[in-house]
Structure 1
Amino acid sequence: MEWLKLLVLSFQSIFTILFNPFFWLIIFLIYTQYKKVSRMEISLLGEEKATAKERVFSSFGVGILGGVLGTLLMTVLGVTVQLEDFRYILPLAIILMMINIRYLCFSYAGGIISLFSLIFGFPKVNVSSIIAIVAVLHLIESILIRIDGYRHPTPIFIRHDIYGIVGGFTLQRFWPIPFAVILVILAKLQGATNINLPDWWPLFIPKGLDVNNITLQLTVIVAALGYGDIAISSSPKEKVKKSSFRLALYSILLLILAAISCHIYIFKYIASLFAPIAHEGLIIYSQREEKKRRPIYKNPPKGITVLDVKRGSVAEKMGIKSGDIIWKVNNYVIDEKEDLLYILRQFPSFIWIEVIDEKGRSNVLEYADYLNGIGSLGAIIVPRFSDAVVSPQNNMSIIKNLFKKFIKK
């Protein structure tokens, strides 16, 4: 019952986030990033797969879920912080985001602040608690990636050194995470609620503090989690499975280092270095892995490859899926995208398409529109030649983009 009281108080405190200006700042920053994604989709596809508002709304809901899970873990573990611990981390994370969008992550800001505290003595923070919170947040992020990271992938064309023009997807999701943590106050407050909990709790508490002479108060912290990746050699859903597992492993190792650092001082340095370096290593390894493995959205010897299908399109209604190879339409052999366009320009009232799916199985799909005819499939085809190729690293720096606009003026 005592645990239940503490958890109820923790969850109730999350709703106070609606009055926190930092929370709405995070929402605005997430909106601007999704707006940029929408503009890229319009330039490449002629339309956006989802509006920035739709993306923000879905991220908001998933982010609240992540906040609840994070609150549950941090409350049970007894991760405590002092007021100074997070005074610098969120502003630093926003500054780092201006350098590169993927740096909107507490692993970088938390690691840097912790190292500064250890080396220079400023700011004075509880390193073990900060690293523990970073670990828990990334454990939550691994769950969010698994359930939401593949949503609204953006189709792109990339120039491959071996296979020429290939298709792929950029995966970009951002989540606002409000979570409750336990704030250490160096005094006894009148009217405080007494809850009897185990002697080992809290697990993460600043060294030298007497639990009997302090007050533990719930407070809400705003964090922003972001996931950015590319899927070239695997589908978006397969990609997030691997990314989620690796990030969960990273989080567990970081949490273990944080727990050890409570008792062995040198591990504060190890954990502070591990947080940003290992996180960056995961991203670099994933990118190199994509470049080395054979892409799945490449041009076949015969037929054309479907990279994606638009919502509500004829292709979606027919059951054409990403990765399918179209090799015959109305008995005409299709060798390139122009062959398909030639047939559709005649607005046939009935079409049947022979496709080969990703497992090599052949299927015949049909569709009829006797009233208007069929002038478009609504499928995004991997071209054999195209100037509309992008680099996954483009437009990652807000500062660089602003500088380029200033130079143009």
Structure 2
Amino acid sequence: MFSFTWALHQVFLGMLAALTHPVFWIVMALVALQYGRVAELRRNFLGAAGNKVLSDTALAAAYGFAGGIVGSLLIVLTGLTLNGTAFQYLLPLAIVLMLIHPRFLCFSYSGGLLALANLLFGFPAIDIPQVMALVAILHFVEAVLILFSGHIGAVPAYVRLTRDRIVGAFTLQKFWPIPIVALLVVGALPQGAEGVQMPGWWPLIPASVPGNPDNLVYIMLPVVAALGYSDIALARTPVARSRISAVHLTGFSITLFALSYLAAQNQGFVWLAALFSPLGHELTIHIGKRGEFGAKPRYVPGYEGVGVLDVERNSPA
């Protein structure tokens, strides 16, 4: 019989297995490279050592593991599978897009491109509602991670608002390796065999695989994902800016999951879900930046004394 405790135990074991996968350590290396670039930005600004790449990467991995637990439980509870999701394309495409801009290390873009390619050219063969629902869950995980750690390691910067006005700001850039556990349909339950009985509403978004949905056998499979976050705090503190971004991203993920659910019920919503994945994410970023640049800047010179934007870690300051 299904229970939350059983699901949590199975998810934890699967995630431990994901940590031994070579892909996880490749993703860890890519994340370390990104934190090296962030450290270089801070070093150029402060003229000192800046962030510690290894400790920043280790902290990101710890947060990523916690986020992976949340994402894995949501995947298991909603019944998303890797069958037809073309997960093997999602991460490589996201990494290629990251080379264009760090914020493109995001499955909303790679997932949306794969879905649109399927609709336009028939390749790759993917289950679009499942892909979009997976992207939605991963973005909810990202929102949680931004809420709790998006402000950590903020890098001070100067921003030119007009030709004669420069103000202080903080750039927020975070990257997380995410070990997760997903489901895979491996066949039908043999006659007379017993498995874990799931609730009647499960799965919310059925996998498009042959066979009786009530008689399919699922296994948990460890996989590795990566999430990235890029933002700027101009009118608010990094903590406040991260909270607002987390709220916006939560709204995006809930909307995308709702569209994915509707697309599984009605093909008319498939195009809408595929387009909303990249465009909705861009809109979320645009709304956030408009709210930040449209508000009164926080870090401006005062009439008395000197405003300190940031100090070097463990320095006399």
Q: State the TM bucket, normalised to the shorter chain.
A: over 0.9
Of residues 302, 305, 311 in structure 2, which corresponds to 1:303? Answer: 305
Query: Where does 1:2-401 land on structure 2 (aligned, <5 Å)?
Result: 2-3=2-3, 4-82=5-83, 85-161=86-162, 164-188=165-189, 194-207=195-208, 209=210, 210-314=212-316, 378=317
Q: Distance in 2 between matches of 1:39 and 1:208?
A: 48
RMSD: 2.1
Q: Deviations over 1:152-191 (max 9, x none)?
A: 1111122231772311111111111111111122455799
Q: Distance in 2 between matches of 1:65 and 1:48?
A: 29
Segments of structure 1 that go 5 or more residues without pairing to the other structure are: 315-377, 379-409
Amino acid at match of 2:309: L
Cα deviation, residue 204, structure 1: 1.6
Q: Distance in 2 between matches of 1:61 and 1:225?
A: 13
Instruction: Specify the alignment match of 1:344 in structure 2.
Output: none
Q: Distance in 2 between matches of 1:124 and 1:309?
A: 52
Amino acid at match of 1:40: L
Q: Distance in 2 between matches of 1:19 and 1:192?
A: 32
Task: Report the secondary structure of 1:206's partner residue.
Answer: coil
Number of residue-to-residue matches in the alignment:
315
Amino acid at match of 2:231: D
Cα deviation, residue 59, structure 1: 0.1
Q: Distance in 2 between matches of 1:297 and 1:43?
A: 19
Cα deviation, residue 89, structure 1: 1.1
**Structure number with bigger Rg:** 1
Amino acid at match of 1:289: G
Q: Distance in 2 between matches of 1:191 and 1:62?
A: 43
Cα deviation, residue 192, structure 1: 8.1
Judge conservation of contact 1:49–1:152 (CA < 8 Å) in 2: no
Segments of structure 2 that go 5 or more residues without pairing to the other structure are: none
Judge conservation of contact 2:36–2:53 (CA < 8 Å) in 1: yes
Taking only the aligned residue pairs, the percentage that are identical comes to 37
Judge conservation of contact 1:163–1:298 (CA < 8 Å) in 2: no
Task: Report the secondary structure of 1:224's partner residue.
Answer: strand
Task: Report the secondary structure of 1:200's partner residue.
Answer: coil
Judge conservation of contact 1:176–1:223 (CA < 8 Å) in 2: yes
Closer, same or farther: CA 291–178 of 1 in aligned 2, 3 Å:
same
Amino acid at match of 1:230: I
Amino acid at match of 2:275: L
Structure with greater helix percent: 2
Judge conservation of contact 2:42–2:51 (CA < 8 Å) in 1: no
Higher mean displacement: 206-215 or 255-264: 206-215
Which stretches of structure 1, 4 residues or more, deviate above 6 A after TM superposition?
189-193
Asked which structure has the greater RCO (Cα within 8 Å, sep 6+), the reply is: 2
Higher mean displacement: 48-57 or 82-91: 82-91
Higher mean displacement: 151-160 or 81-90: 81-90
Scaled by the length of structure 1, what TM-score is found? Answer: 0.73
Judge conservation of contact 1:38–1:50 (CA < 8 Å) in 2: yes
Closer, same or farther: CA 127–192 of 1 in aligned 2, 3 Å:
farther
Judge conservation of contact 1:135–1:255 (CA < 8 Å) in 2: yes
Judge conservation of contact 2:259–2:269 (CA < 8 Å) in 1: yes
Scaled by the length of structure 2, what TM-score is found? Answer: 0.93
